[in-house]
Amino acid sequence: MSENSAMPDRGSSSELTRRRMLQGAGVALTAAVGTAVIGFTGPNGQSAVAADPGAGDGFDEVYQGRRIQGRPLAAGHGSDHSGHHGGGYQVLVDGQELHVMRNADGTWISVVNHYQTHATPRSLARAAVLDLQGAELLPLT
Amino acid sequence: MAVRKNQATLTAKEKRDFVDAVLELKRLGRYDSFVSTHNTFIVSDTDNGERTGHRSPSFLPWHRRFLLQFEQELQSINPAVNLPYWDWTADRTANSSLWGADFLGGTGRSSDGQVTTGPFAFSSGKWALTVRPDSRSYLRRNLGGAVAALPTKAEADSVLAMATYDAAPWNSSSDGFRNNLEGWRGVNLHNRVHVWIGGHMATGMSPNDPAFWLHHCFIDKLWAEWQSRHPGQGYLPTGNTPDVVDLNDTMKPWNNVTPADLLDHTKFYTYDTGF
């Protein structure tokens, strides 16, 4: 797995962690901080390992020609009913929001991979890029 | 009494009647609301918040009611149509008659995943997706592309053997029959089949693929089978559970039906055989 190979600026992580501690939305997220790994058997029988996104915080990269970004949301955006259910985390593909959700075991799913868990938001975003084959995400209706 | 049959036993006319009724609902603009309802629920059903259609005990009664509504819509087109089910423990390959051009059509082409055979191919002019995750309006599949094998009968039997319907915390991390059937835990039955079909079936807008109905009809049948194997067990939880539909709570979006109302499927239909 290369999920955490591109480490972001570590200088911001303590600030992000502190902010996340203040979020009501961050229950699952904060519970996972420091626990590192939770074993999970994915749909294909392979072991998907839930890594704490706090260890990587945000990401911003070009994957297969698409810009994918992930970032913790500011407090107040995680637990309301505005359409964000990602445990206070947002993923974008070429600037369009990929609806994501965090499972109780710390793994992640998205609207385009809703029945198969991924270990990290970055892995989930890359899977969406492969599924999209160049298509543009549409806002949820 | 309506009988829901194994799709492998349908006559050519029964297949045609089912397909024609689905296409007619689509033409009349009455299909896509099922897609949007499903997606609205699946993206808002969360492990730590309100959850009704998925990752919760009401996964089974919610989908039973959802399928009944769709079946009634089909019957408004043709009263002879009942939902068929797909026993994926028996019909396990992309060469199954289920995927024939006279029924659901086959897998997507390699270049873009587009289904190009059967009545739901985009080129038929009758199956353009309006409620969709991205800019592509054609139905996509990738049979067997993302996961090697469909669940086996032994795996299904192992889940049917679980005596307890569901357990706290009543979400995707629960032990018990419901969550192992749904597939967030254990051998993974329901979720794996969505992933095996791939394309739109892997998304929150999965009812865009009519295979959704045949898959969920079998899930519904497995629930009935579990009930027959565990007559002393029942739906849980039974009361005062935050964010979760208890036995006698009404379910959204209907707000007039409870899990208790739906436990006995024989009030509405029967299945042709046991599992």
pLDDT tens-digit profile of B143-196? Answer: 999 998 999 999 999 999 999 999 999 999 999 999 999 999 999 999 999 999
User: What pLDDT score was predicted for residue A73?
Assistant: 86
Minimum CA–CA partner of A138 in chain B:
B134
Contact B101, B117 (CB under 8 A): yes
Same-domain check for residues A79 and A33: no
Residue with tokens 């501690």: A21
Same-domain check for residues A73 and A29: no
Same-domain check for residues A63 and A128: yes
Same-domain check for residues A18 and A83: no
Distance of CA A3 to the CA centre of its chain: 11
- Whether A86 is in a domain gets the answer yes
User: What pLDDT score was predicted for residue A85?
Assistant: 61
Average pLDDT, chain B: 98
Q: In chain A, how many domains are there?
A: 2
* Secondary structure letter of residue B6 according to DSSP: B
Domain residue spans of chain B? 2-271
Q: In chain B, which residues have their Cβ closer than 8 Å to the Cβ of A42? A: 188
Nearest to A43 by CA among A125, A113, A132: A113
Same-domain check for residues A31 and A92: no
The residues on B that touch A, with CB distances below 8 Å, are 36, 39, 42-44, 46-49, 55, 112-113, 131-136, 146-148, 169, 171-173, 183-186, 188, 190-192, 194-195, 202-206
User: What pLDDT score was predicted for residue B149?
Assistant: 97
Q: Domain residues for A23?
A: 3-38
Closest in B48, B134, B148 to A27, CB measured: B48
CATH of the domain at A85: 3.30.1880.10
Q: Which of A115, A123, A124, A132 to mutate to test the interface with B (most CBs of B within 10 A)?
A: A115
- pLDDT digit string (tens) for B197-245? 999 999 999 999 999 999 999 999 999 999 999 999 999 999 999 999 9
| pLDDT above 90 as % of chain B | 99
The residue count of chain A comes to: 141
User: What pLDDT score was predicted for residue A50?
Assistant: 58
- pLDDT digit string (tens) for B47-69? 999 999 999 999 999 999 999 99
Does B183 contact A99 at a Cβ distance shorter than 8 Å? no
Q: Does domain B2-271 match CATH 1.10.1280.10? A: yes
User: What pLDDT score was predicted for residue A140?
Assistant: 83
CA-to-CA distance for A91 and B17, rounded, in angstroms?
A: 43
Contact residues, A window 50-89, toward B, CB-based 8 Å cutoff = 79, 81, 83, 85
- Enumerate the β-bridge partners of residue B134: A137
Distance from CA of B77 to the nearest CA of A (A): 27
Same-domain check for residues A66 and A115: yes
B29's CB contacts (< 8 A; 6+ apart) are: none
User: What pLDDT score was predicted for residue A84?
Assistant: 54
Phi-psi sector, B153: left (phi>0), alpha (psi -120 to 50), beta: alpha
Q: pLDDT 10s per residue in chain A (141 long)? A: 333 333 333 333 333 333 333 333 333 333 333 333 333 344 443 445 555 555 357 999 999 999 999 999 875 544 444 445 666 899 999 999 999 999 999 999 999 999 999 999 999 999 999 999 999 999 986
Task: Give SS3 for A108.
Answer: strand
Contact B11, B84 (CB under 8 A): no
Same-domain check for residues A63 and A31: no
